[in-house]
Each structure stands twice: as C-alpha cells, then as structure tokens.
C-alpha cells in the first residue's frame, strides 16, 4: 500500500546533493566540520531511505570508511609524514636501502603524525560516506533514465558499477539467511571463506541481469549514425568531460586560477554541445520517466548551496593544523553551509515503502 504523498525522489537530485556534500568535505580537514558532514548525511539517509535492497548499503560504506580511517593512521605510524616534537612512543626502526630514498619504517611516532593521518583519513572517509549516502537514497535502476542519449553506453556501465555495492549487501544477507536456515556456521574464518565466493558471484550475476533487463525493458535506443557524427559526438563529450575534471581540480586546488572556473565553464559548454547533438541524433524510448519537480530542485539546490558556501569561505578557517596541535573550532559560515544540507530530510518526499499489509 503506497500513500499519495509517498514517492521516490529523482535519483539525479540525490546524487547532486551527495556529490556537493563530498566537495564540501574535500575542502576541509577540520574534524568537527567533517563529523558534522557525516552526521548530516547519516540523518538524511535514516529519514529518507526506503526498504529496497540498496538502502542498506550505507552500513557497508560505514565499515569501509572506518577501515580507511584506521589504515591512514597505521600508515602514518609505519612511515610517518609530519614533523613534530611531541613523541608519543618509539618502535624499533627498520631502515630501507638507498634505492627506497632512505625511508625508515616505524621508529618514533609523534602526536603530529597521528593527527595528520587522522585528519586525512577522516576527510577521505567522509567523502566515501557521502557517496554511500547517494547509493542508499538513489535507485540505481532508475538512474539510467536520466542519462543523456550521447552517454547511453557509458551510463549503462556506470549504472551496473553503482549497483554492485547494493547487490553485494543484499547477497550477503541472502547467503547468511540461507546458511542460518541450513544450520551452517555463521561466525569464524570458515564462515567467511564459505560466504565470499557465492556472495561475489551472486552480486556480479545480479548486476549483469540488471543491465540486460534495463536494455530490454524500455531503456533501449534506436538510431543509425554516420561515423562522422559518432566521432563528433564522442569528441565533444570526451573533451568536455576532461575539461570539467580539470576545472573541478583547479577549483578545489586553488593554486592555478586558469585551471579553475575557465576550464570548468569551457568543459560544461563543450560537453553540453555534445549532449545536445547526441540527443537530437539518437532516439531513445523511456517507460514512465521520473519527474523532476519542486522537491528535486530544492534537494539539489541545498547540496549546491553547501558546496558554494564552503568554497567561498575563508580557507584558513577550514584547516586544522596538525603541527603544532591545535584544538579545532567550528567556523560560522562553513557550519551553516553544512547545516543547509540537512534540509532535504524535510524537503524530499517520504519514500514509498513496499510493506505487506
């Protein structure tokens, strides 16, 4: 039973919101701001995810983020990277040969090294959790509908890739349930060895079945293009996407001004031209396209506003130095920007839950 005010939000809106939140997280090493981004993403996921198989993927991304954080700290203990005088402990050092640039493993570990690894790992873990939020909120099966005709093949591959993680989580649950019903071992190393191969094979099979099903149920296209038009479309789209990637790097880095906004605008214009030419030349059939209404616009604008406000904020307020160790503070503008991303928890409609009544 589905209520009239319950519907699935357009997957593109969730991805715009999540990627903008990830851009905001990539600009700061302040652990308080990063923790606030994680809290915002988790809160929106809890309130607006459905009961589909991919909705439980956020937990798996949380485990991956925790592993990234721990590995970054351990890597700093192994190699180091921050100079500082606050030595916490000393391990036996292992000098490497001169071919390895004279790197010395282990040895003395300072508080600055641990803080530097923790800040870097927390930033990367936050970006991973933002992507996990998009996977938990957006329907990967409906994502291909919004892909322009010029990117149909690439969109199919990306959709299959994005559906691997949710299908992997669902496969783990199904295999564990089957082993529990058959009184099999549910813990220990033997359980891990017995569940790894069937889970991986089942997730890949289901992803390939998804691609085949979408290609045969209204996601196909018709059209015969000349080689010259194909080359033109591919060149415009590829060159435009490369320009967008370089422009985004320039905006985030900030050291080279000519790599920032000019390259980003040029890439968007060139890619847009390729999309327009490809959309006119390629005829696609779409069954029940997802509508883009006011809630989708509000969700996307909340994410974009968060990224823009963080980008225009004072860079000094976004960085918490590890050497010398200082207590992090919450700057006003970036904090307000991250809180803006919390609004989709109320702007987005409640997802339609498929519950047997």
| 212 and 258 inside one domain | no
Q: In this predicted structure, what is the pLDDT of residue 313?
A: 84
Examine the domain organization and report whether 235 and 326 are in the same domain.
Answer: no
Query: Do 258 and 303 reside in the same domain of the chain?
Result: no
- Which pLDDT belongs to residue 357? 38
* 111 lies in the same domain as 64: yes
CA distance 349 to 7: 6
What is the pLDDT, as a whole number, of residue 1? 43
pLDDT at residue 125, rounded to an integer: 92
- For residue 317, the SS3 value is helix
Query: Which has more confidence, 280 or 174?
Result: 174
Q: Looking at the structure, do residues 106 and 174 belong to the same domain, yes or no?
A: yes
Query: pLDDT (tens digit, 9 = 90+) per residue, 169-193?
Result: 667 777 777 777 766 555 655 656 6
Confidence class of residue 146 from pLDDT cuts 50, 70 and 90?
A: low
Tell which of 281, 302, 322 closes a domain: 281
Distances (CA, A) of 117 to 23, 84, 132: 20, 13, 22
- In terms of domains, do 38 and 55 share one? yes
Question: pLDDT band at 2, cuts 50/70/90?
Answer: very low
Nearest alpha carbon to residue 346 among 294, 291, 295, 292: 295
Question: Each residue of 103-112: pLDDT tens digit?
Answer: 777 777 777 8
Residue 287 forms part of a structural domain = no
pLDDT tens-digit map of 80-109: 655 556 777 777 777 766 666 567 777 777
Range of the domain at 48: 11-223+292-347
- How confident is the model over 313-340, as pLDDT tens digits? 888 888 888 777 788 888 888 899 999 9
Task: Give the count of domains, the chain.
Answer: 2
The whole-model pTM stands at 0.71
Element spanning 283, H or E: strand 283-284
Share the mean pLDDT of the chain: 75
Q: At residue 114, does pLDDT exceed 80?
A: yes
State whether 80 and 117 are in the same domain: yes
Residue 168 pLDDT more than 60? yes
Judgement on whether residues 254 and 304 belong to the same structural domain of the protein:
no
């Amino acid at each position: 039973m589905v209520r009239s005010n319950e519907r699935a939000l357009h997957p593109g809106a969730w991805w715009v919101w999540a990627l903008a939140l990830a851009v905001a997280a990539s600009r700061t090493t302040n652990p308080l701001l990063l923790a606030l981004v994680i809290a915002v993403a988790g809160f929106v996921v809890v309130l607006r995810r459905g009961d589909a198989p991919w909705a439980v993927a956020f937990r798996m991304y949380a485990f991956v983020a925790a592993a990234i954080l721990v590995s970054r700290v351990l890597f700093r203990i192994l190699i180091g990277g921050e100079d500082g005088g606050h030595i916490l402990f000393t391990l036996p050092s292992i000098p490497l040969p001169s071919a390895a640039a004279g790197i010395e493993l282990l040895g003395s570990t300072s508080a600055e090294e641990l803080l530097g690894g923790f800040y870097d790992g927390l930033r990367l873990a936050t970006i991973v959790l933002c992507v996990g939020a998009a996977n938990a909120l957006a329907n990967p099966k409906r994502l291909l509908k919004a892909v322009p005709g010029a990117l149909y093949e690439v969109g199919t591959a990306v959709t299959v890739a994005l559906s691997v993680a949710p299908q992997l989580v669902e496969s783990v649950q199904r295999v564990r349930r089957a082993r529990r019903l058959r009184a099999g071992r549910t813990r220990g190393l033997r359980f891990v060895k017995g569940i790894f191969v069937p889970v991986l094979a089942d997730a890949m099979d289901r992803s390939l079945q998804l691609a085949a099903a979408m290609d045969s149920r209204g996601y196909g296209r018709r059209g015969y293009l000349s080689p010259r038009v194909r080359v033109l479309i591919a060149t415009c789209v590829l060159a435009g996407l490369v320009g967008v990637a370089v422009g985004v790097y320039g905006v985030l880095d900030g050291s080279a001004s000519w790599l920032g906004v000019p390259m980003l605008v040029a890439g968007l214009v060139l890619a847009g031209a390729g999309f327009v030419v490809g959309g006119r030349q390629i005829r696609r059939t779409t069954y029940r396209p997802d509508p883009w209404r006011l809630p989708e616009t509000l969700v996307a604008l909340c994410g974009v506003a968060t990224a823009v406000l963080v980008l225009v904020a004072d860079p000094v307020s976004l960085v918490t130095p590890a050497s010398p160790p200082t207590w992090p503070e919450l700057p006003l503008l970036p904090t307000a920007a991250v809180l803006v991303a919390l609004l989709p928890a109320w702007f987005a409609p409640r997802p339609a839950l498929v519950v047997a009544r």
